[in-house]
Amino acid sequence: MGKIKTVRLLDIATKAGVSVSAVSKTMNGSDEIPEATREKILSIAREMDYHPNFSARSLRLGRSRIIGVIIPNNDFSYNHVLSGISKALEETDYTPIFISTKDDPKYEKSAIKKLLSIPVDGILSVPVSMDSYKNVFVPVVFMSRYPYRNPRTGEPVRTNDNYVVTDDYEGQRIATTELIKECGGNVYIFLGSENTRTVAGIKEHIRLSGYKKALEEHDIPFDEGHVYWNTTSLEKACENTQMLLKHVEKSFGLMVANDYFSIGVISTLQKNGYSIPDDVKIIGFDDLEMASYISPSLTTIHCARYRLGSCATQHLVSIIQSKNTGEAIQTIFQPKFVKRSSM
Amino acid sequence: MGKIKTVRLLDIATKAGVSVSAVSKTMNGSDEIPEATREKILSIAREMDYHPNFSARSLRLGRSRIIGVIIPNNDFSYNHVLSGISKALEETDYTPIFISTKDDPKYEKSAIKKLLSIPVDGILSVPVSMDSYKNVFVPVVFMSRYPYRNPRTGEPVRTNDNYVVTDDYEGQRIATTELIKECGGNVYIFLGSENTRTVAGIKEHIRLSGYKKALEEHDIPFDEGHVYWNTTSLEKACENTQMLLKHVEKSFGLMVANDYFSIGVISTLQKNGYSIPDDVKIIGFDDLEMASYISPSLTTIHCARYRLGSCATQHLVSIIQSKNTGEAIQTIFQPKFVKRSSM
DNA sequence: CTGAAAGCGCTAACAC
DNA sequence: GTGTTAGCGCTTTCAG
C-alpha cells in the first residue's frame, strides 16, 4: 500500500496554471476571481478529488470547525440528544467529536484538554463537575444537566452560563401530583446519585425538591423514608425495589428515576406478585420509545431530548459565529406528563 | 471574553531560557536532553498549563492520533461497541471521533471525506456500502457487519479486508436448531433489511442462510412464507407480528431480528392473548442488558459487542503502528445461546 | 549536547 | 485581477 500523495492547493494551481492563492480564494468562494478561472479551478479540483487539509486550515485560522461533545457515557440515555446534535450540525460545516467522561471529573478534565488542543471551536457538554469548565476559553453550552435551580429549595438560580435543560423540578412535581391523586401520601421515589458535588447529583436533588413541592401543595409531610437514592443501574433499581417491598403496604405509588430502570422495577414487582397498576402505580421519566411497548405500557414524563440536543447545538453555533457578547443563552424545556397503563 | 493567548513551545522556551527544539524534544521524551533541563522545562510547562496544538502537530507529522469511527446511527445498538472502542483507546494516545451515516451511502462517503481531511490515522467502521472504502488510504477495520460469508450459501468468503464480526450465520443456525427442537418446522423468522446492495442487507441474508442450514440439518423444507423482512424498527416489529398472527397456528417458534425489537413483538403477542413461552417461543439476538429484566425474560443469542469494539480497536492501532504488511486481520466471534424464559 | 532553520498546507495581507 | 509571501505551532535534520 504505497502512500498516496494527497492533493494540495499547489497541485491544482500548477495544473490550472494559476497561483495557489487564486485556488484558495476560489475554494473559499471569494468573488475576486473571474468566472472562467473559477470554473476551471473547480473542475480540476473535482477531477483531482481535492480535499482541504483540516489541520493546515485549523492551524492557519486558529479554528477548526469541529465541535466537541462531552457526554457522561455511551449508554443509551443520550442517544436522542446526540441525534439532535448531529442533525443540527448537518446544516453547518461543523463536525462533532464525541468524548465520554464516565461521569468522572478526572476524565472530564482530560476530555476538555484534548478538545481544546485540537482546538475545537466550541463545546456541548453534559457536565460532571462545573469546576472543570473554569478555564475553558471557547464557548460552551451545557445540556440536560445544570444547576439551574437551587437543589434544596427548587428556586431558579441566576447564572451566566449557556444551557439547555429539561425542567426536572416541574417534571417531578407534576408526576408526584398525579401519584398523590391516586395514592395519597403513599408515594415513593427512586432517585439517582445523592452526591451534590456532581452536577448529576444536583439534578437529582432538584428533582427531589419538585417531589417535596408537590407534597407540600397537598399538605402531606415529607418522609425521608420514601426516598431511595442511588438508583444508578438496572441492578440497583431491582435491589431498591426489593428493599422497598420490605417496608411498604401492598398498594403504593412509585416514581422511578427513568424509564429504563423502570423495566427492572416492574419485573421485580411482578416477580413478587404485585400487579401493576392495580397494586402499584408507576411513573417513569424520559419517555423512551420502548415505554409504550413494554407491558404494562409505562406512564412517564416526556422530555424533549432530541430537541434538547438540536437546540443546544443551534445556540452554540450562533454563539461561535456571532462572537456573542456574553449574554448567556438559557433554555428550559417544560416536560409533559404522558399517561399510559402503569398508572 | 478576551481571547486567551495559548501557550506555545516558544513561550516555554523563552521562560526556560532554552530553544524551542529543546522543549519539543523534552515533550517528546527524547533522551538527548539532560535531566536538569528536562525537569525545568517540564515544570514550567506544567505551570503554564501547556497543551500541544493538535493541528500544528498533525500538519507537521502528517498524522493526527485521531481515529475515525463510522457508525450507522446513534441508536443504542452500538453502545457497547462504542464503549469497547473508547476503553481500548484509553490506553493509547488516540482519540476517537464518531460520525454517523444514517445507513445511507451518501452520508457514508461524506463522512469518510471528512475523516480523511483531518486526517485521521485510521478508521473503524460499521459499513453501509463497501464501495465507499475503495479509495481510503488509511487503515480500516470493519466491525459488526461485513460480507464474511456468501449471503446465499453461507459459505465463508476469502477477502483481504480487516474485520471483526460476530458469526451471525452460526448464531442463527443455533437459535433455529433450538426452536426446531421445541416447535418442529413451525419456526418463523423476523429479519431486517432485505436489500443486498447494502452491507446491512447482506448481513441479514447471511443470517437467513444460517436459518436455512438448521432447517436442512433437520430435513425441514424451507418455506419463504416463514420469513418476515424489514423488521427495522419497533413499530415494524409490531406490524410484522400482527401480519404473522393472521397466517399462523396458535403455537409456533419465532426468531426476532434483535432483542430490542422483541419488546414490541412480545407486547403485541400478549395483547393478542398469546402466552409466552406456552404458545409462542421467542428468541432474540444481541443479549442486551435488559433481556433478562423484561417479562418473560428473553432467550437470546449473546454477541460479545463490547469485545467486538475493543478487539477491532486493538487491531487498528496495531496496524497503524506497525505499518502492517497487508496481511488482513480477521476475527469472527462465536455467538452463544442464552436460555431464559421466553423459550 | 544544543539551537537554527526548513517546511507541513493553508490563508490573507499586500504588492504588482 | 493576480501572484508573492509571511507565518500559524510544531518536529526534525543538521551544523555548531
Q: What is the DSSP string of B75-93?
A: SGGGHHHHHHHHHHHHTSS
Q: Grid coordinates in use for B67?
A: 481515529
Handedness of CA A259, B288, B297, B188 (dihedral sign): positive
Q: Are strands A336-338 and A300-302 parallel, antiparallel or unpaired?
A: antiparallel
**Is CATH 3.20.20.70 what the domain over B9-51 is classified as, yes or no?**
no
* Predicted local confidence at residue B92, as pLDDT: 86
Which residues on chain B are in Cβ contact (under 8 Å) with A309? none
CATH of A167-303, one of 3.20.20.70, 3.40.50.1970, 3.40.50.2300, 3.40.50.300: 3.40.50.2300
**At B240, is the secondary structure helix, strand, or coil?**
helix
Task: Give me the helices (H) in B48-138, please.
Answer: 54-61, 79-90, 105-117
The pLDDT assigned to B99 comes to: 86
User: In sequence order, which residues have a C-beta less than 8 Å from that of residue A76 and are 6 or more positions away?
Assistant: A260, B75, B76, B79
Among the residues of B247-304, which ranges form H helices? 259-271
Partner B contacted by A76 (CB < 8 A): yes
Q: Contact B267/A54, CB-based, under 8 Å?
A: no
- pLDDT band at residue B232 using 50, 70 and 90 as cut-offs: very high
How many of the other CB atoms lie within 10 Å of CB of A121? 23
* Beta carbons of A307 and A334 less than 8 angstroms apart: no
- Interface residues for strand D (CB within 7 Å) are A 17-22, 32-34, 37, 56, 59-60, 62; B 6, 8-10, 20-21, 24-25, 27-28, 52-53, 56-57, 59-61
Largest CA distance in chain A: 86
Interface of B with A in 36-65 (CB under 8 A): 49, 51-56, 58-59, 64
Same fold, B9-51 and B66-152+156-165+306-333: no
- Cβ pair A295:B270 closer than 8 A: yes
Q: Which fold has domain B66-152+156-165+306-333?
A: Rossmann fold (3.40.50)
**pLDDT for res B249:** 83
Q: Quick one: B307 exposed, middle or buried, by C-beta within 10 A (0-12, 13-18, 19+)? A: middle
A51 closest-nt by C1' vs CA: C9
Paired with B253 in beta bridges are B187, B281
Predicted confidence at residue A3, as pLDDT, reads 43
pLDDT, tens digit, 9 for 90 and up, residues B35-68: 888 889 999 999 888 888 888 999 898 888 889 9
Does residue A326 have a pLDDT over 90? no
A79 touches chain B (CB under 8 A): yes
Residue A2 confidence class, pLDDT cut points 50, 70, 90: very low
Residue with cell 428515576: A257
pLDDT at position B208 is 98
Buried b / exposed e along A186-217 (16+ C-beta atoms within 10 A): bbbbbbbbeeeebbbbbbbbbbbbbbbbbbee
Cβ-contact B66, B97 below 8 angstroms: yes
Measure the CA–CA gap between A242 and A269, rounded to whole angstroms.
8
Closest by alpha carbon to B280, among B311, B318, B312, B254?
A: B254
**Which chain A residues in 283-312 lie under 8 Å from chain B, judged by CB atoms?**
289-290, 293-295, 297
Q: Which residues, at least 6 apart from B28, have a Cβ–Cβ distance to it below 8 Å? A: none
- What's the pLDDT band for A328 if we cut at 50, 70, 90? very high
pLDDT reported for residue B100: 85
Smallest Cα–Cα separation from B200: which of B209, B191, B189? B191
Q: What does the pLDDT read at residue B166?
A: 97
CB atoms within 10 A of CB B29: 8
> Would the pLDDT of A34 be above 90?
no
Cα dihedral A109→A115→A119→A120 (10° resolution): -120
Q: How many other C-beta atoms can be found within 10 angstroms of the C-beta atom of residue A275?
A: 12
Using pLDDT thresholds of 50, 70 and 90, give the confidence band for residue A93: confident
Percentage of chain B lying above the pLDDT 70 cut? 97
B20 touches chain A (CB under 8 A): no
pLDDT of residue B325: 65
**Domain chopping of chain B, boundaries:** 9-51, 66-152+156-165+306-333, 167-303
The answer to whether residues A257 and A234 touch, using CB atoms and an 8 Å cutoff, is no
Amino acid B51: pLDDT: 85
pLDDT of residue A324: 58
pLDDT at A4 over 60: no
**Nearest nucleotide to A62 by CA–C1' distance?**
D8
Task: Please provide the size of chain A in residues.
Answer: 343
What is the mean pLDDT of the segment spanning A122-139?
94
Helix or strand run (H / E) with residue A316: helix A305-322
| Residue that has been written with the C-alpha cell 443479549 in this structure | B287
Strand arrangement, sheet containing A140-143: A95-100, A66-71, A122-125, A140-143, A162-166, A330-333
Would you state the pLDDT for residue B287? Answer: 95
Residues 6+ apart with CB under 8 A from B4: A137
Q: Which residue is nearest to nucleotide C13 (CA to C1')?
A: A21
Rounded CA separation B211/B154 (Å): 10
Average pLDDT of chain A is: 92
Cα angle: B27, vertex B30, B34; to 5 degrees = 95
In the predicted structure, residue A74 carries a pLDDT above the cut 70: no
The pLDDT-based confidence of B75 (bands split at 50, 70, 90) is low
Residues of A in contact with B51 (CB under 8 A): 113, 116-117
CA A192-A238-A269 angle, 5° bins: 120
Backbone angles phi, psi at A264, to 5 degrees: -65, -40
Residues in chain B: 343
* Cβ contacts of A59 within 8 Å, gap of 6 or more: B53, B55, B56, B59
> Which percentage of chain A shows pLDDT scores above 90?
66
In A253-282, the residues whose Cβ lies within 8 Å of chain B are 260, 263-264, 266-267, 270-271
For residue B5, the model assigns a pLDDT of 64
What are the tens digits of pLDDT across the range B157-204?
999 999 999 999 999 999 999 999 999 999 999 999 999 999 999 999
Closest CA to A343 of A271, A247, A273, A265: A265
Quote the mean pLDDT of chain B: 92
In contact, B329 and B319? CB cutoff 8 Å: yes
How many angstroms separate the CA atoms of A253 and A73, rounded? Answer: 30
Residue B304 is classified by DSSP as: -
Sheet holding B162-166, edge to edge: B95-100, B66-71, B122-125, B140-143, B162-166, B330-333
Cβ count near A257 (within 10 Å): 26
Taking the CA of residue B259 as centre, how many other CA atoms within 13 Å lie in the half-sphere pointing to its CB? 23
Give residue A1's pLDDT: 33
Strand C: list protein residues with Cβ under 7 Å: A 6, 8-10, 20-21, 24-25, 27-28, 52-53, 56-57, 59-61; B 18-22, 32-34, 37, 56, 59-60, 62
Beta strands in chain B (DSSP E): 66-71, 95-100, 122-125, 140-143, 162-166, 187-190, 227-228, 252-255, 280-283, 300-302, 330-333, 336-338
With cut-offs at 50, 70 and 90, classify the pLDDT of residue B2: very low
A234-256 burial, b if ≥16 CB within 10 A, otherwise e?
A: bebbbbbbeebbeebeeebbbbb
Q: Is A157's Cβ below 8 Å from some Cβ in B? A: no
Residue B34: per-residue pLDDT = 87
A15 CB burial (10 A radius; 0-12, 13-18, 19+): middle
pLDDT for A245: 97
